[in-house]
Amino acid sequence: MGYCMEMKGSKFFVPAEHTGLIFAMTKGQPYDFQLDSDGNISELEFTGEKLGSDFELFQSIAPYVQDGSYIWMLGEDGSQWRWVFQSGICKEVKAKVEWPDE
């Protein structure tokens, strides 16, 4: 049984020169990539259930992803995190939810 999660949003970009490599590296994974008119990966969609190795997948493609890209996820237990791409590295950043004082 897997861990259910959904993608809440993203800002994701890979230059056209790397799209073939990204498609090859992510084949069979629960992510679909959309190309813009220039052949850049400009969007991604999560199409499945957490594999357990999603973070490792994004670490492997991080050198080809534009700085400032991110993927925002919501887990079945209410946890939220982003996979953030910067300087060829992917980091997992957990959300901190704060309630205002009443």
CB atoms within 10 A of CB 84: 20
- For position 2, what pLDDT does the model report? 66
Phi then psi for residue 98, to 5 deg, are -125, 140
In this predicted structure, the answer to whether residue 77 has a pLDDT above a threshold of 80 is yes
Burial tier of 41 (Cβ tally within 10 Å: 0-12, 13-18, 19+):
buried
At residue 98, the pLDDT reads 87
Global pTM?
0.87
The string of pLDDT tens digits covering residues 13-70 is 999 999 999 999 999 888 999 999 999 999 999 887 666 688 999 999 999 999 999 9
Contacts of 41 (CB under 8 A, 6+ apart): 12, 13, 14, 19, 22, 33, 34, 35
Domain ranges of the chain: 5-94
Burial class (CB in 10 A: 0-12, 13-18, 19+), 90: buried
pLDDT for res 50: 62
